[in-house]
């Protein structure tokens, strides 16, 4: 029995030691890089190519919401070098001082980015993030289900004509894009009265809904269980649009919204040199194109477009919405103190 105790103590001690020795402050060039990214947004092929060229091993962890990522970084000592926050999450991370400011002298190829991402409102001058992929929030509809009627506006989501055949994304900020824009306000409003009006619209809308679903809404539209749904553009939506000629993805005439997920360096990143090397690697047009070729997402890199193998995706609104289509789209930014108005409103919508 004594042996057993000694052995178990030994195992515990060994475990404790090994977990500590992971992130030592080694002097020479880094041989590894810890990346914390959205699931499937940086294709595995990109990591493989990076390791092959530089010899730097990449450890990847995934998250499925900005909130998860932020709370993990806020807990401290995450050990991550590269993180991939969405636009409003960049603001939150900067607010909590969880990101390193980027040293532009170490970054090459930032001119490859599309003009609309060169100086975004959420991160003026790209001090903390380098845009990687982007997408839109818009409308997905099934033309058979609507009887051939084209859907072009958020108002359809609030139209009793489609009662029981409408789906909304089960996400507060996403729901308020429609709620605010249908009333003629900006999707990034911080005005209490505007948000209250949007809340009213969303409460009135609830009896018309089939449900709130941000998981398998694409399948619901494809099968006709739902005729019109608020939808996020991107891989899965693009696939459904490609496979089913009746299903269309559009940005509403009120504007819709844009999201961008970019690369940032976490505060206290243990392998900063490798992190800059990684950012520069991802800014290369042929590498950035892999986000579309292997990941099915729109690259923020304008120079990458000629390297996209399926040129049809460049005109598929669910992936590359055109400049005219996104002309009125708002960036969803961090509502800051106004977050409270959204929360109170959304709670009332959900409980009504």
Partner 1 sequence: MTATTRAIHLGRQEKPKRGSLLLLIPGIASVVLLGVLPLFIVARNSFAVADDYGGITDGLTLENYAKLLDPVYSKTLLFSLGLGLLNTVVCLVIGYLTSYYIVSRPTNRQGFLLLLVIIPFWTDFLVRTFAWITILGSGGPIAGILGIFGIAGFSVIPSNLAVVLGLLYSFLPTAIFPIYASMRSIDPSLKEAATDLGASWWGVHRRVILPLSSPGILGAALLTFIPTMGVFVIPVLLGGGKDPLVGNLIVTLYTEFRNQPMGAAVSMVLLVLMLASMALVGLALKRSSTKRTTTKKTEA
Place of tokens 């103190």: 337
Q: Using the rule CB under 8 A, which residue among 15, 39, 196, 339 binds partner 1?
A: 339
Among 44, 65, 243, 315, binds partner 1 (CB under 8 A): 65
User: Based on CB atoms, which residue is closest to partner 1, 104 or 206?
Assistant: 206
Asked if residues 138 and 233 have their Cβ atoms less than 8 Å apart, the reply is yes
DSSP H or E run through 6: helix 2-20
Binding residues among 85-144 for partner 1 as defined by CB under 8 A: 92, 95-96
Under 8 Å CB-to-CB from 227, ≥6 apart: which residues? 141, 142, 145, 146, 162, 165, 166, 221
The interface mask with partner 1, positions 176-215, x = CB under 8 A, is ------------------------------x--xxxxx-x
Calpha distance 69→64 (Å, rounded): 8
Beta carbons within 10 angstroms of residue 193's beta carbon: 10
Residue 309 is a binding residue for partner 1 (CB under 8 A) = no
Nearest distance, CB of residue 266 and partner 1, angstroms: 15
The binder of partner 1 chosen from 44, 71, 144, 243 (CB under 8 A): 71
Residues 6+ apart with CB under 8 A from 47: 35, 58, 60
4 close to 29: Cβ distance less than 8 angstroms: no
Task: Using DSSP bridges, classify how beta strands 247-250 and 298-299 pair: parallel, antiparallel or unpaired.
Answer: unpaired
CB of 236 to partner 1, least distance (A): 15
> Least distance (Å) from partner 1 to the CB of residue 267?
14
Site for partner 1, rule CB under 8 A: 1, 4-5, 8, 12, 65, 67-68, 70-71, 74, 92, 95-96, 170-173, 206, 209-213, 215-216, 223-225, 336-337, 339, 343, 346-348, 350-351
């Amino acid at each position: 029995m004594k042996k057993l105790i000694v052995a178990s103590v030994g195992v515990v001690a060994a475990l404790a030691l090994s977990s500590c020795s992971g992130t030592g402050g080694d002097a020479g060039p880094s041989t590894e890089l810890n990346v914390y990214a959205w699931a499937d947004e940086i294709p595995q092929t990109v990591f493989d190519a990076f390791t092959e060229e530089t010899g730097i091993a990449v450890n990847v962890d995934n998250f499925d919401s900005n909130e998860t990522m932020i709370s993990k970084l806020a807990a401290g000592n995450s050990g991550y070098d590269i993180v991939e926050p969405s636009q409003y999450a960049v603001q939150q991370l900067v607010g909590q001082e969880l990101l390193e400011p980027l040293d532009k002298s170490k970054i090459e190829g930032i001119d490859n980015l599309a003009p609309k991402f060169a100086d975004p409102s959420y991160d003026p001058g790209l001090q903390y993030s380098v845009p990687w992929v982007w997408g839109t929030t818009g409308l997905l509809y099934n033309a058979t289900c609507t009887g051939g009627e084209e859907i072009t506006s958020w108002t359809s989501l609030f139209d009793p004509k489609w009662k029981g055949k409408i789906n909304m994304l089960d996400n507060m900020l996403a729901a308020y894009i429609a709620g605010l824009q249908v009333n003629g306000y900006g999707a990034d409003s911080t005005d209490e009265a505007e948000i209250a009006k949007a809340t009213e619209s969303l409460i009135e809308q609830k009896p018309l809904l089939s449900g709130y679903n941000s998981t398998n809404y694409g399948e619901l539209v494809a099968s006709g269980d739902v005729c019109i749904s608020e939808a996020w553009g991107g891989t899965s939506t693009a696939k459904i649009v490609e496979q089913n000629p009746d299903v269309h993805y559009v940005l509403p005439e009120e504007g819709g919204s844009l999201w961008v997920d970019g690369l940032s360096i976490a505060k206290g990143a243990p392998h900063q040199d490798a992190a800059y090397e990684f950012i520069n690697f991802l800014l290369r047009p042929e590498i950035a194109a892999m986000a579309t070729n292997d990941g099915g997402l729109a690259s923020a890199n304008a120079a990458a477009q000629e390297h996209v193998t399926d040129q049809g995706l460049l005109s598929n609104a669910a992936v590359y919405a055109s400049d005219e289509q996104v002309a009125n789209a708002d960036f969803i930014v961090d509502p800051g103190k106004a977050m409270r108005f959204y929360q109170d409103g959304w709670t009332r919508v959900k409980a009504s």
